[in-house]
Amino acid sequence: MASTFDIGFAKTARISGGLAILLQVAGEAAAGTGDVDPDGAVERAAGIAKFTGKALKTLDVLAPHGASADRIVVIGLGEADKLTAHDWLKAGGAAATKIRGTDKATVYLDAPGVTLTATNAADFALGMQLGAYSFDTYKTKKTDDEEAKSGKAVKVTLVTAGASAAKKANEVSEAVAEGVILARNLVNEPANVLGPVEFADKAKALEKLGVEVDILTEREMKKLGMAALLGVAQGSVRPPRLAVMHWKGGKEKDRPIAFIGKGVVFDSGGISIKQAAGMEDMKGDMGGAAAVIGLMHTLAARKAKANVVGILGLVENMPDGNAQRPGDIVKSMSGQTIEVINTDAEGRLVLCDALWYCNETFKPQFMVNLATLTGAVMVALGSHHAGLFSNDDTLSGRLTAAGLATNERLWRLPLGREYDKMIDSKFADMKNTGGRYAGAITAAQFLQRFVKDTPWAHLDIAGTALGSPTDEINQSWSSGFGVRLLDEMVRANYEG
């Protein structure tokens, strides 16, 4: 895995060698120059390079004359009155790339012209942790840059007058970083290593944080009547699992809130097999489940004051002689029957039983499911927004607001009776695809048939969970999309 940072906070720091990072807003001086650079090497270099503190622009000064550091890097923050939480995250990510390969670093956060809050400092630290991430577990030979990423933890001191408050705020950020990195690791793992049983074991490991975990086997799911989920799994030699996680951090009488993740550890398409090109990416078809387990880790690690259920439907979709066929009809746990038109529309078959089980068992305040469900949502939204479908305006609004706050953005797409008719079947209660058009919508319409009147939202994260554009806080194929979004939504609305 990537190198991590051993991050500490201090009100002051005495530098002797190493890297010093300063922050600068547009039109102001850089932070900490008097302590680090008494001879003004940074000011001279900035003039020569025409560095003005524009957002994420950097100035790198090697062996500055008279300075206490061996190297000074200045990172621009842009205009002070336009700084957002995500800007602090990105600045931390930019710092991570500069720290890589060093032994120690000191970062001066109190830039002139900015009133730094404890949350800003914690966001910067979170950005550093996320920006440093890479997945190199299976590389036996590495380039120099990869060796730098994979080395021992680098000691980093963040200097700010509000060090005590920043340290406390960073306890929450560390929990968020752990959850995102867990989600990224799971999506990046190859499918021969991470099957349904192994994924369920990852969920079971959350017990050490105080999460109650039950793992339902194939036998138990058969007794419950989960033929839709089990139909997807029947072509694989690897048995399915349903992981049920329960964090009880709220009042005993409070109904839980619930998150459900699609966990198809590999999706060949089944009998409706996918084309070979790009099929290797289908190891990431469990991005929804990865986000849910990452969220549950974060909530437990930061002792969230809420009752939360997380459910993972874990299967592998393979095309052997026992595999489900197009034209098969299965009965879901709800009792509703489904004609399987396309075995590659398997995620909704997994989720429909998981949603019904969740609703019947826990009677939650709401349910949110996450899934890398359709290519159609990528055609509509690309990779900068996930698709949001919901039967409840309040829930939809809270999710959208959390997406804007974390920059894990959502765009609401419609549901409607006209689309619902597209999945009616001649032979069963419904079919699992509605044809070529409105594919993301008809998938959501399918899921809506399994939630009754419970407030519900479906997040189609096919374009954002994996292969999304890299930036300062994510250089990985897997983004961990959804963990920060949902943690923010819970914190802002459901913890009293």
For residues 206 and 208, give the distance between their C-alpha atoms in angstroms, rounded to a whole number: 5
Name the residues annotated as catalytic. Answer: 274, 348
CB 410 within 8 A of CB 403: yes
Three state DSSP letters for the chain: CCCCEEEEEECCCCCCCCEEEEEEECCCCCCCHHHHCCCCHHHHHHHHHCCCCCCCCEEEEECCCCCCCCEEEEEEEECHHHCCHHHHHHHHHHHHHHHCCCCEEEEECCCCCCCCCHHHHHHHHHHHHHHCCCCCCCCCCCCHHHHHHHCCCEEEEEECCCHHHHHHHHHHHHHHHHHHHHHHHHHHCCCCCCCHHHHHHHHHHHHHHCCEEEEECHHHHHHHCCHHHHHHHCCCCCCCEEEEEEEECCCCCCCCEEEEEEEEEEECCCCCCCCCCCHHHHHHCCHHHHHHHHHHHHHHHCCCCCEEEEEEEEEEECCCCCCCCCCCEEECCCCCEEECCCCCCCHHHHHHHHHHHHHHHHCCCCEEEEECCCCHHHHHHCCCCEEEEECCHHHHHHHHHHHHHHCCCEEECCCCHHHHHHHCCCCCCEECCCCCCCHHHHHHHHHHCCCCCCCEEEEECCCCCECCCCECCECCCECCCCHHHHHHHHHHHCCC
* Closest to 224 in 3D by CA, of 367, 361, 389, 372: 361
Exposed / middle / buried, residue 54 (Cβ in 10 Å: 0-12, 13-18, 19+): middle
Alpha-carbon gap, residue 85 to 123, rounded angstroms: 7
Q: How far apart are CA 48 and CA 50, in angstroms?
A: 6
Backbone phi, psi, residue 68, to 5°: -85, -15
